[in-house]
Structure 1
Amino acid sequence: MQSWASKLYNLWELTRSSLFYVPVIISLMFIGGILLIFRLELSYTEYVQKLDFLYAGSTEDAKTILQTILSALITMTTLVISITMVVLSLSASQLGPRLIKIFMSSRLTQIYIGVFFGSIALTLTLLILLHDQSTFEQPPKLTISCCFVLTFINLFVLLGYVNHVARSGIADTTIERVTQELEHSLSRLTDSARDHTEHSTAPQIPKHYSENQRDIYSSCSGYIQNIQYPALVELANKHDLLINIECRAGDYVFTGQKVGTLFPKEHAQAEVEICIVECIDVGSNKTGTQDIEYSIRHLAEIGLRALSPGINDNFTAITVLDKLSGVLSKALSKDLPQHIYHDQKNQLRLIGKSVTQSDIVDSALSQIRDAGKTKPDVLHHLIQLIGTISQTLKSESAQQALNQQVDLIKQHIHDHFHNKEEETYLLETLEKYSL
């Protein structure tokens, strides 16, 4: 059951950033809604005719107006798509091409575009209905009036979309969205780690493991999106195996690359190896299904590009560091997923490669630190970030990872600010936080 849930979530991760599905669903809802209104109006014509504020023209006049509306809506939707492409281009050049997904996965963006396409589909459907006048004696006043009201609403929807797009182009907005996605991913993955704590004891490798193992090789190339650990445990129990997976979500593998081992090799038949490889979902893109560093890398990329010579925006990089401080504080204080599984008899069945606190610190800070090594304001903010987190940190491994970053910062200070005022200022900040 957990295996299927993981696969479904991975599928959701791949589809939720598409601009196709939500607009199609909204368009179908609009078509269904106008057909329902039309059907109700045919059934209760005598009541509808008593409403004086509805459309009072002829069917031919309504067709002419609707044709004009349809043309205007198509032009408006074309403008919307053009604006969207411009924003995506700007986001790709300033914040990184991988962050286009953040804009496209915005539910508000998808709803706006869905309303525009749905309005076109609704108007076209109504024109088709009006083409066959044999189905009604009087023009469908209520149905036509609803289309007119929707067209009027579209004017304000366009205004709202332009405002939404303008705000989406601001770096702070994108940073906030990435941070929210990161916090959600962190909460989801660490909660699953807490549920799995009882199986996360240190693995006891059997004797003669290295002499009696069989290697497993990848059957395709791509990024590992999801590993079905529950399914692997079932296979291990069924065939009395110990499975060691030497890769994790987010890693790139190529065809023929070693991805793990089986023990003992006399139980590792060819069909079992095929089933194990099929439990490793590989695709062309990375996803955040099991990769806890996925959104951290996105957030770090914004800061890294902001510090590039072509942009040189220290304030955006500092904003990224502010967001990373809160994320790192949560990540380093929680139990990270440890993919070590035992059976009911406490026999080791599966060893998976797990992310460490050092990996998270390195993904979050290393590239930004290196890109900002000549910028005293960025180094000062990094020192503040590390000092603040260290005051509440209890994990020794996390503290060691932060201390490595401090040592590198000291080296940067010596290399680039020796015998300068900035050196004194930065060293005083280090002493302030006892680093």
Structure 2
Amino acid sequence: MNRSLLRVRQITQEFWFIPAVMTLLSLLLAEAGIKAEESYGIPKGLYFVYAGGETGSRSLLSAIAGSSIGVAGTVFSITIAALSYAAGSMGPRLLNNFTRDRGNQLTLGTFISTFAFALYTLRAVTGSGDVVFVPHYNVTFALVAAIACIGMLVYYLAHITGAINMTHVVNLLRDDLRDSLMKATQQAEPDDGFAVAPPPAFWVNGETLHAPSSGYLQLMDNDLLLRRADEAGVTLLLHVRPGDYVFPNSMIAVGVPHLPEGVMDALSLGNRRTVGQDLEYSVRQLAEVAARALSPGVNDPVTAIDVIDRFGDALCSLQDRRWPDGVYYSDQQLRLVVPVTDFSGLTNSMFAMIRQYGKGSPSVVVRLLEVFRTTASCLNDPERREVIRRHAELVREDGLANIENSGDRADVEDRYRKVLDVLAEGQVAEIRQASKQTVAQGGRVS
């Protein structure tokens, strides 16, 4: 994705975009209806078309315009107040979900476009002197739009009730995380190899690039960076990755022997983090929900357990996927090195905050270890399994240090032992698989 596509996506996701488009279309439709009736009149046989006079059409259009904008203002004002209250326990992400939801945007657009259509049509109704004109097509359509508003209101009330449900919010965040994981990783192949970046000494004499402004790195166009480095015949190293906060005048890139032109054209800075390339942002949003749930003011371990389950879901989906190495070649020449998120960093973002806030809750500690056990059985990579072992040890240590009840401590030890058993079974399976491969290749196993 390049910078232009990012901006287009951000604009189209704004809460006002769909209502604005629908309002513009309604005004164009109103004008088209008026012109059509002025030019061709109403053919005989169209019995469904409004057949009232000037006074009735004025009253009808006035009622539709006033009621549509009044209901929209009241309903959405109350909704925003309810969402603001609920965001105290769910986090500000709830408000983002509300504004990004297409159903909410379509509902607001239906009410506002109906108001605009009726108001624009009302100005065309004339009844002074000998000139009488009633836009029958438009009045008929305004009646249909009013009925649509009633249907959208019923839909909206049911939809928003489910939207502020905690499980619904957690599932939405899970879907964002899963999509980001699938985009950030690729299918692993048996002959996949990892390219190794040059040592730090390679970059010592390179030309450095300092940030001209500040903000979150929302987008890094790797294709453009690779093309610019290849055209200049240089090797480029980035020190920042999507999601990092870039400080003004901080070093963000090094070029050897010099910097290519237009490096900043491939980097988009903004005032907030965005879902997409920023994988850890998707993780942090879920972790924030769990951290708020475990705060003393909320004390909702069930929600934290829901989040832990979603994290286990995400990790198990990485069973047959590999992380990119961040090293790019062009015509067998090293051109670009960028930092990437790895499995260890991902799991740290997932579980560190939950472990710190939930270390005194036996149910949270036990569920963490149970998820580690399941995750360990899903993962085949020894390095990833070792990361799971390290987190299990940290959870056990914090849990035993903060849980006083002997029965709960025994449960923690039991779940931790099961994690170790699964990890040990995985090591045995790896040894057996390696032995089979050696024998198949004609080797000898002692």
TM-score normalised according to structure 1 size: 0.89
| Residue pairs, 1:267-278, within 5 angstroms | 267-268=258-259, 272=260, 275-278=262-265
Q: Give per-residue Cα distances to partners, 1:228-256, cap 9 Å, x unaligned.
A: 22222222222221111111000011111
Task: State yes or no: 1:245 paired with 2:232.
Answer: no
**Aligned to 2:41, which of 40, 45, 51?**
45
Q: Secondary structure at the match of 2:263?
A: helix
Aligned partner of 1:59 in structure 2 is: 54
Q: CA separation of 1:200/1:34 partners in 2, compared to 1, >3 Å: closer, same or farther? A: farther
Shift of the alpha carbon at 1:335? 1.7
SS in 1 for 2:336: strand
C-alpha deviations, 1:123-142, integer Å up to 9, x for none? 11111222488998663333
Q: Secondary structure at the match of 1:260?
A: strand
1:347 aligned onto 2:333: yes
Structure 2 counterpart of 1:108, one-letter code: G
Distance (whole Å) between structure 2 residues aligned to residue 416 and residue 39 of structure 1: 76
Equivalence for 1:130: 125
**CA apart distance, 1:419:** 6.3
Instruction: State the AA in 1 paired with 2:251.
Output: K
Higher mean C-alpha displacement, 294-303 vs 210-219: 210-219
Contact 1:17 / 1:101 at 8 angstroms: preserved in 2? no
Change (3 A) 1:45 1:323: same
Aligned residue for 2:19? Answer: 23
Does residue 36 of structure 1 match 2:23?
A: no
For residues 251-302 of structure 1, the C-alpha deviation after alignment (integer angstroms, 9 at most, x for no partner) is 01111111121212xx44xxx46x2233221111111231122211111111
How far does residue 71 in structure 1 lie from its aligned partner after superposition?
1.4
% of aligned pairs identical? 25
Q: 1:433 to 1:211 in 2, by over 3 A?
A: closer
CA contact (8 A) 2:188 2:320 kept: no
Query: What is the CA distance between 1:397 and its match in structure 2?
Result: 2.5
Tell whether 2:352 aligns with 1:366.
yes
Equivalent residue for 2:195? 201
The residue type equivalent to 2:295 in the other structure is S
What is the RMSD computed on CA atoms of the aligned residues? 2.6
In structure 2, distance between residues paired with 1:240 and 1:368: 46
Aligned 8 A contact 2:3 2:266 in 1: no
Which of the residues 309, 316, 325 maps onto 1:322? 309
Distance in 1 separating the partners of 2:204 and 2:417? 52
Secondary structure at the counterpart of residue 325 of structure 2 = coil
The answer (yes or no) to whether the contact 1:248–1:352 under 8 Å persists in 2 is yes
Aligned counterparts, 1:370-389, within 5 A: 370-389=356-375
Whether contact under 8 Å (1:200, 1:341) holds in the other structure is: no
The answer for the alignment partner of 1:395 in structure 2 is: 381
Cα pair 1:199 1:342 within 8 Å, conserved? no
Determine helix, strand or coil for the equivalent of 2:2: helix
Kindly indicate whether the alpha-carbon contact (under 8 Å) linking 1:217 and 1:257 is maintained by their aligned counterparts in 2: yes
SS of residue paired to 2:249: coil
2:108 to 107, 113, 123: 113
The answer as to whether partners of 2:34 and 2:135 remain within 8 angstroms in 1 is yes
Q: How does 1:169-318 map to 2 (within 5 A)?
A: 169-191=164-186, 201-205=195-199, 209-264=202-257, 267-268=258-259, 272=260, 275-318=262-305
- Contact 1:31–1:125 (8 Å) recurs in 2: yes
Q: What amino acid sits opposite 1:335 in the alignment?
A: R
Following superposition, the deviation at residue 39 of structure 1 comes to 3.7
What secondary structure sits across from 1:381 in the alignment?
A: helix
Distance 1:9 1:288 in 2: 14
**Aligned mate of 1:432, from 413, 418, 423:** 418
Between Structure 1 and Structure 2, how many residues are aligned? 420
By how many angstroms is 1:396 displaced? Answer: 2.4
CA distance in 2, matches of 1:135, 1:77: 38
Q: How much does 1:43 deviate? A: 4.6
Q: Deviations over 1:311-343 (max 9, x none)?
A: 111111111112221112124642223321111
1:83 to 1:70, Cα distance in 2 relative to 1, 3 A = same
Cα distance change on mapping 1:227 and 1:133 into 2, 3 Å:
farther
Question: Could you tell me which residue of structure 2 aligns to residue 88 of structure 1?
Answer: 83
1:210 to partner: Cα distance:
4.4
Shift of 1:431: 2.1
**Gaps in structure 1 of 5+ consecutive residues:** none
Residues 150-203 of structure 1: CA deviation (Å, up to 9, x unaligned) = 212212211211111111111111111111222222223325x879x9895223
- Report if the CA contact (8 A) 1:96-1:301 is conserved: yes
Does the aligned pair in 2 maintain the 1:13–1:288 contact within 8 Å?
no
Residue 9 of structure 1: how far off its partner (Å)? 4.0
- Aligned runs of 1:142-161 on 2, under 5 Å? 142-161=137-156
- Paired with 2:229 and 2:300, the residues of 1 have a C-alpha distance of 52
Cα distance in 1 for partners of 2:277, 2:40 equals 55
Contact preservation (8 Å) 1:200, 1:339:
no
What amino acid sits opposite 1:183 in the alignment? R
Q: Secondary structure at the match of 1:311?
A: coil
Structure 2: unaligned runs, 5 residues or longer: 422-446
